[in-house]
Amino acid sequence: MTSPRGFFHPKTASGTSSLIPAPPWRYSGDLLTIEYRTDPSRVRELLPQPLELADEDPGAVALIWADWQSCSGTGDELLDPVRGQYKEAFAVVRCTYRGETYSRCVYIWVDKDFAIARGLHQGYPKKLGSIHQTRPHPYGPAPRIEAGARFGATLAAADRRLAQAVVTLREPSATNGFVNGYPMAHHRWLPSIESGKGLALDELIESGAASFEGGQAWVGDASLELFDAPTEELARLEVREPIAAYFRQVGVVWDGGRLLESGTSGVGAS
């Protein structure tokens, strides 16, 4: 007798049908990052216990578009691109936990099911969306990575546009911004199968890159619009003051996180 195998559902005799393979997960991507300031109270309402607002610049937000190629340790998905290519857009804020500063993804949309499954494991609040961004290219009409290059980006979900932006590069930068520059403090939540029993899984975890490499970061300016939608709340993180916009090409390896604490978020299952 053999037990069904696989890192994630569905588990089968061979494990081949599992929606996602076991880590490590490897990523190559183009990142468009727009940082701005919003009302800190809008950030605070998204932080469950025991997280608190960042001490400095508590209203800072990064809205990031990413065009990814990803794969497991074998790299097989790169030769079957439908299994490895996807796009996402996500909002990141900063918070503190026991005196340490963390980044935290509070909203995120992706366009592939395997990306949602990875997010469930990592504590990202992923939903399906439609995400597009201008790709750089050294030939033809596409922008080069240089001063004056212009990149557009759009995000929609459930047939409604949630955000649109245009980024114009100005000069090379020493950083790719500061909001998404810390380990992630995420929650992994799963409601109990029994009604009224709260959460069966309630973990605060720390997550970050096992390794990272990146090309030259560029800084520039951005125009950013956020839109209301019946079932989305991104627009509550309204733009009060622009900070900067960035473009960078990166390579990342993710290979797990660590448990900070469990059962203390105070978040219900309703």
Q: Percent of the chain beyond pLDDT 90?
A: 97
**pTM of the predicted protein model:** 0.97
Task: Give the pLDDT confidence score for residue 60 in this predicted structure.
Answer: 98
Taking 90 as the threshold, does the pLDDT of residue 266 lie above it?
A: no
Who has greater pLDDT, 270 or 71? 71
User: Are 207 and 240 in contact, with CB atoms under 8 Å apart?
Assistant: no
Residue showing tokens 């059962």: 263
Three-state SS for 114? helix
**What average pLDDT does range 207-235 have in this prediction?**
98
Record the tokens describing residue 117, joined without a space.
């499954």
Task: Give the pLDDT confidence score for residue 1 in this predicted structure.
Answer: 66
Span 16-75, pLDDT tens digits? 999 999 999 999 999 999 999 999 999 999 999 999 999 999 999 999 999 999 999 999
Compute the distance between CA of residue 225 and CA of residue 154 in angstroms, rounded to an integer.
10
Compute the distance between CA of residue 77 and CA of residue 213 in angstroms, rounded to an integer.
20
Compute the distance between CA of residue 95 and CA of residue 226 in angstroms, rounded to an integer.
23
Span 171-215, pLDDT tens digits? 999 999 999 999 999 999 999 999 999 999 999 999 999 999 999
Nearest to 185 by CA among 71, 101, 267, 268: 101
Span 117-158, pLDDT tens digits? 999 999 999 999 999 999 999 999 999 999 999 999 999 999
Three-state SS for 119? helix
User: Are 11 and 22 in contact, with CB atoms under 8 Å apart?
Assistant: no
